[in-house]
Structure 1
């Protein structure tokens, strides 16, 4: 199939046929909100909880939400994405210089770098449950850009033939409809009722986020008012109604607010200013502040000590280390698999029953969080320390610590008499002479 003299790729031809066929009727009947997508919370936002309006934007006012979201998104952007080739034995071999490296790790579009694109997609996933990237292609099917779109500007829907399409709202209010084969849809856990979008963490946990926002606002109000609720004034002879009103106005002008915190008060008629050291209400507020942080950390699977809540965390290095390992394994790994799998199935689509030998994955085989002692111990064992078989070459080890290769550094060490590693020559061994050699 060709358009205006250009030959289309198979996937582009299929999308063009769909666009000229049944999809038009489906688009016209789809419940689409056109233009100004940022004004609508299509994913369950704008809920009232604990007296606060909870949306993905207001949720980021919570320090706990901010830390959890930026921690996970920052951890994802710090590990480079790359193209790997799967060998016949199931081994992953990095394909350096692949044409898609530009879109994965360098520059998916002219406005973003590769790490920034991944970070912003992760933030959309963690706040709204969904992140979207639109793959722009030339007429011959060559990928030219991957544009970033905010989740509030994208509406997925099904056509009459049950295929999935996406309506993108641009900054100028115009809309574009694209088949799912052109869209990178990064999903969080779960599915919404439409079977296309993932669940929104902020929408489903609005109460927890609302409590976190409300406690912070209450605490800020204490500083704004200046006097604490457990401050009280005692007059031995009592005061009249008019005197009480005058004294309240005097306090408002003289003592309330941070700017007036150190102004002296002039008390008359034997009045005394008293304060209860720590009331039960204050103690409950402190506990609520700690609980709100832990509750938000529970939503995102982040250890509380990583969000700054260390009151219930062991100070021993092994305890913190195990929490970090658990965070990488049970929190980060699912996100990495979802993002890499979406890249793989859209950049290297399955054709019939044939699966591409290329996949997208993270260059994370080296523990970036290890200290110098742990890194040295790992490399020593990997190179074949203590006369044991190694599993990486000297140049592979040097590449992991950003050092240039050395001549003759591509062999994997094997001790004398040990079986050779796959693809490596057998180690020299002493053999018993045969009868013919003896003769």
Structure 2
């Protein structure tokens, strides 16, 4: 490392990255800075800019998004996570927590992490990158005094992580072609499930399931070709003897120009010279294209953990009662929540790192209540219990409920209901006496009792 020019192996370092790298990263050569494992096929294909070939089609993140099921699953998960508020909280002395909306990082995450996008858009783009390629990268920009000034999102193909000197480094390629190398402490690396053979990148869903997605793409391409060919889909022609190859080629060209396409599918053909037109009795149903299309869609949905009804498959689902509601809750619990935990943990690890054995006063968390909302009746019952219905202890105040419904606070609405303690029993151990109770008082000497003669 050249400390005078703040470069690392020929690449420019950020100011704080250069300070962190001083004395840590030994010189490395270009071959050691980026290793591609021969056994990691998806990583190799991503490195060389290609994609896996399955069912006769090339499967890449871009081509996979042309499949409607992949598009729906990716946008559904990324849109669901993007719609959740990303809050900064402060730990209180009594073991609780409170929102810290005035924290500088709260503004970055909520409003404008950089000059090109809003906070929700950055979360959406990062989630889409994780869904398609398994990894998403955000570079933490800081001033000289260590204050975070921005969070720059990079597409996975613009970042190359590698290990050197016992540390993890990231090489970023900007749009103008310039490159920067930063230490892992200044990079938010959102990962999907698992780790690849390099131990840094997560597994690529598209790369590891190229066969499944390729079958879906190939089925749709074949169906589109059927419509494109129109009349010639399952047809063949018998020509009389004596036809030369040149005449056959001329007939083929005339036939394609005359009868190809859906618009010409019902136009009659007039043949002469003994030529015969015949059709194979082989339909799309015989080829089980409809079943294959449905199966490939459900198979892709299984990859992303999306219920069938969310991609429009209602054949084995009910749209009545609580069935759909519980499936939606399961989607939030078993599909979205693991991503939310990984994302929040990475943000806390890089933006609010612990100091020694002491954790930071602040932390970041997604609020998932927005996705768990039911109908108006269910919400009313939930808020009634939260406020302390049936004289039970509440866990929300009136103003907290009003804030969730975008209503202004009211005076005196910040108190959480706690039921009063029960009245103490009387000295005889019985229930307390009511002052208005017309019953007898055993301590009154003038009270008449049944024991008098």
- Report the TM range for the smaller structure's normalisation: 0.7 to 0.9
CA distance in 2, matches of 1:229, 1:171: 46
Task: Answer whether contact 2:332 2:371 (CA < 8 A) is retained.
Answer: no
CA distance in 1, matches of 2:110, 2:422: 40
CA distance in 1, matches of 2:49, 2:325: 37
1:171 alignment partner in structure 2? 175
Partner SS state of residue 26, structure 1: coil
Q: Which of 73, 76, 85 matches 2:78?
A: 73
1:23 and 2:25 equivalent?
yes
1:200 and 2:231 equivalent?
no
- Kindly state the Cα deviation for residue 91 of structure 1 after the two structures are TM-superposed: 3.5
CA distance in 2, matches of 1:104, 1:168: 21
1:314 and 2:327 equivalent?
no
Residue 349 and residue 26 in structure 1: after superposition, are their counterparts in 2 closer, same or farther (change >3 A)? farther
Q: Which of 377, 387, 392 matches 2:391?
A: 387
Partner SS state of residue 209, structure 1: helix
CA distance in 1, matches of 2:95, 2:82: 26
1:214 and 2:218 equivalent?
yes
Counting only pairs closer than 5 Å after superposition, residues 362-401 of structure 1 correspond to structure 2 as 362-367=366-371, 369-401=373-405
Partner SS state of residue 384, structure 2: helix
Q: Any unmatched runs of 5+ in structure 2?
A: 5-13, 36-43, 424-431, 436-443, 445-453
CA distance in 2, matches of 1:359, 1:376: 30
Q: Which of 348, 359, 363 matches 1:355?
A: 359
Q: Which of 339, 346, 350 matches 2:350?
A: 346
1:105 alignment partner in structure 2? 110
Q: Which moved more, 1:325-334 or 1:361-370?
A: 361-370
Counting only pairs closer than 5 Å after superposition, residues 185-264 of structure 1 correspond to structure 2 as 185-227=189-231, 229-230=233-234, 239-240=240-241, 242=243, 248-264=252-268
- Kindly state the Cα deviation for residue 118 of structure 1 after the two structures are TM-superposed: 0.3
Residue 47 and residue 230 in structure 1: after superposition, are their counterparts in 2 closer, same or farther (change >3 A)? same
Task: Answer whether contact 2:232 2:260 (CA < 8 A) is retained.
Answer: no
Deviation readout 1:304-352 (Å, 9 max, x if unpaired): 2211222232333322112111100000000001111111010101222
2:328 alignment partner in structure 1? 324
CA distance in 1, matches of 2:155, 2:78: 15
CA distance in 1, matches of 2:265, 2:91: 67
TM-score where L is the length of structure 1 = 0.83
- Kindly state the Cα deviation for residue 196 of structure 1 after the two structures are TM-superposed: 1.0
TM-score where L is the length of structure 2 = 0.80
Deviation readout 1:231-269 (Å, 9 max, x if unpaired): 577x9xx85574987765554222211332343444678
2:128 alignment partner in structure 1? 123
Q: Any unmatched runs of 5+ in structure 1?
A: 5-11, 34-38, 420-429
Task: Answer whether contact 1:45 1:202 (CA < 8 A) is retained.
Answer: no
CA distance in 1, matches of 2:127, 2:393: 40
Deviation readout 1:343-387 (Å, 9 max, x if unpaired): 101010122212113211012234454222222221122122333
- Kindly state the Cα deviation for residue 153 of structure 1 after the two structures are TM-superposed: 1.1
Task: Answer whether contact 1:109 1:145 (CA < 8 A) is retained.
Answer: yes
Task: Answer whether contact 2:33 2:164 (CA < 8 A) is retained.
Answer: no
